[in-house]
Chains A and B, each alone.
Chain A
Amino acid sequence: LAKTTQPISMDSYEGQEVNITCSHNNIATNDYITWYQQFPSQGPRFIIQGYKTKVTNEVASLFIPADRKSSTLSLPRVSLSDTAVYYCPLEKGNTGKLIFGQGTTLQVKP
């Protein structure tokens, strides 16, 4: 099963924009790209989902190039509370199955 690859960790400062890239070279035609956030001792929380081009909601933007082999989660003006692990699992089309990689630990500093 195709898994995703992300940087293990990233540091940022409050108020900055953070971009986290995810690689999914073996993405299938009917796979969706999703992003989740996880705090310690909690379950993951859905952030955003997309199939192609750009998707934006109240907390983030998701950029997906035409070949869909990668995606970028953009968090505008991060705060200390955005310190968490971010995952970009692929959702296997028509099954609901999520295939997770190791995630990116984002540390936001004051």
Chain B
Amino acid sequence: DAGITQSPRHKVTETGTPVTLRCHQTENHRYMYWYRQDPGHGLRLIHYSYGVKDTDKGEVSDGYSVSRSKTEDFLLTLESATSSQTSVYFCAISKADGQPQHFGDGTRLSIL
């Protein structure tokens, strides 16, 4: 499996609190992605990065911000978590656009 580590794997928090999820890769891949997966919706792209300090929005970016200060780390932040952000979050990496994406094992986030 591709060297992708997501942390934490599980988190329960309260509405209004800030939350940061981390994706760490050891493959030196240029592209990194954050998706969320909810029942009946498949996976939806939140944000992605095409290099250090280069990021762009996906289809469901409202309420989320990202940062990538190093090649190996891509952080997803919920500034003020809401119950609608309860979901499973997946990080993915790829060498370049057009190349297959490799996914992490996900972070299950519950916001009460």
Contact = CB atoms under 8 A, between A and B. Distances in A.
Contacts of B103: 42-45
Interface residues of B, number: 26
A85 to B, nearest CB: 9
Interface in A72-110: 87, 89, 91, 93-103
Q: Is the interface of A mostly helix, strand, loop or mixed?
A: loop
Given A87-B42, A87-B43, A100-B42, A42 B58 contact: no
A43, A44, A93, A97 — which one has the most chain B CB atoms within 10 A of its CB?
A43
Interface string A10-53: 00000000000000000000001010000001111110010000
Nearest to B56: A95
Contacts of A91: 97-98
Interface in B55-111: 58-59, 90, 92, 94, 96-106
Contacts of B96: 96
A95 to B, nearest CB: 6
A98 B97 CA distance: 10
Contacts of A96: 31, 33, 48, 50, 94, 96-99, 101
Contact of B102 (A32, A46, A89): A46
